[in-house]
Amino acid sequence: MPSIDINCDMGESYGHFKVGNDDAIFPYIDSCNIACGFHGGDPLHIETTIKKAVAHGIRIGAHPAYPDLAGFGRRKMQLPANELKAILKYQIAALKGMTESLGGRLAYVKPHGALYNTAASSRSETEVIIEAIRSIDPQLALMGLASSVMETVAKEQQVPFIAEAFADRQYTADGRLQSRQVAGAVIYDPEQSAQQVLSIVKKQQVISTSNTIVPIIAQSVCIHGDNPAAVEMLKAIREVIGNR
């Protein structure tokens, strides 16, 4: 069985609001995308998550977002390039500094939510993200949707790119993620999720919502930490592809 990295969005709790079940998830993943405070996470939850990631030997990525705490970063924002770049630098620098202060190393940056989806089809948005990453640390990789504009631009600019697929999201025929506004866009069934990952790993493809084959070549597969079935999905995935 070919190996593949399993990643999860984590550290998204803030104040009295609990998001996800990070402690139960850590044993099943290889990489974690840690919130930077703009869609979820606060300094204490972020620091706690970094400590746990370091203790588990998990690869750490920054998970910056539009400044949209109320909308969990899932609302698209039209921001001037210089403002977006500053917002991203602020988040990435904070995550990198906190990680290094705890004996860890930041390995990559994965945009969150609406920022991720916008960059997947927007050259200009991707270029701003890359500029922000390079200004902090040129060695950082960019994680983004496989076969997207993000991947194209990153390769053109010789930025290390981690092509990502999803275990708990449905795909459209053009290889994009089905909008969360559409019923069934999010997968909650562990067996369905595991079979989708198995198809990505063994066949390098998924079946779209219109029942067509979508080719996907990915190095990492994501489970969303706020998916209530995340732990059961990860257990099912590990059963079919093997343990860490």
Distance, CA of 1 to CA of 242 (rounded, Å): 8
> Which has the closest alpha carbon to 240: 30, 28, 58, 59?
28
Radius of gyration of the chain measured on its C-alpha atoms: 17
Task: Give tens-digit pLDDT for 38-94.
Answer: 999 999 999 999 999 999 999 999 999 999 999 999 999 999 999 999 999 999 999
Q: What is the pLDDT of residue 212?
A: 95
Q: What is the pLDDT of residue 61?
A: 98
State the pLDDT confidence band at 2, using cuts at 50, 70 and 90: low
Furthest-apart CA pair in the chain: how many Å?
Answer: 48
> Which has the closest alpha carbon to 14: 28, 35, 29?
35
The domains located in the chain, with CATH, are: 5-241 (3.20.20.370)
pLDDT of 244 > 70? The answer is no
DSSP state letter for 35: E
pLDDT of 1 > 70? The answer is no
Q: What is the pLDDT of residue 242?
A: 82
